Amino acid sequence: MSALNIAPGALRDRLRAGESTVGTFVGLASSGAAEVCAAAGADWILIDLEHGSGTEDSVRDGVLAAAAYGVPTVVRVESAERIRIGRALDQAAAGVMVPRLERAAQAREFVRHLNYPVLGGDRGVATYNRACRWGMDRTPLAATEQQGLGIVQIETLGALAEAEEIAAIDGVDVLFAGPLDLSYSLGVPLEFDNPVYTDALARVVSAAERHGKAAGILALDGAAAARYAEAGFRFVAVGSDSTLMAAALRDAFAAARTPDLQRKALA
């Protein structure tokens, strides 16, 4: 076990074993929000540094907040630069998601950044970080297989065209469809029932399954997540901390303002 009481590579192992998992995006730069999401029963949380409000400080605090409930943290970095990926992993992130890749060659480079040199990677080697228990645990440096979950987003036409080749790369564990970006890239923005879009999702699932990988996607709510799971997606995010809170409050305020409830309140 690591210092966080989460076995290194546990999330990756679950997906490789064929399990389905459900998590949520955390973008409010709040360790409290991360903790609530973990406490609510997420299999994982994903701290979003591409579109979220936070910085790498959010990773430092969010990993600890989720780990208190035994929940691993994945980080969506701003770009696929080596330093961005390494810093997330040094904070004991269970995996990294990279956005906006276009080619399989870029995905191969991403996998190199995930791994230490012993596994053929170019991740910077240091021990005074959380991943190595502040120098007291050097076993990650000598791991015999990749521990961090590698997630490549399929949200551009280039990535979609090379989805099969990307899925075949050892070290890419999840092909994650980005619904909004993908729909725009396909020329059918927000048309999630359009056959052009649904066929693209089917291609992602098919490519992932053929190579023993998991397909992932972001769902608006739990009902949508269940439909995606039925379609073969095994790494499904249910909204985000901000969207779920906004939806819950909107519905609660609407219910509180119904004429029937107002009459009862005044009675």
C-alpha to C-alpha distance for 254 and 207, rounded to whole angstroms: 43
| CA-closest candidate to residue 65, choices 91, 38, 97 | 38
Instruction: Tell me which of 19, 40, 41, 51 is the catalytic residue.
Output: 51
pLDDT tens for each residue of 83-95: 999 999 999 999 9
pLDDT of 235 strictly over 70: yes
Q: pTM for the complete prediction?
A: 0.94
C-alpha to C-alpha distance for 232 and 132, rounded to whole angstroms: 35
- What confidence tier does 27 reach under pLDDT thresholds 50, 70, 90? very high
Catalytic residue status for 211: no
pLDDT tens for each residue of 198-224: 999 999 999 999 999 999 999 999 999
Q: How many CA atoms lie within 13 A of 197 on its CB side?
A: 18
- What confidence tier does 264 reach under pLDDT thresholds 50, 70, 90? low
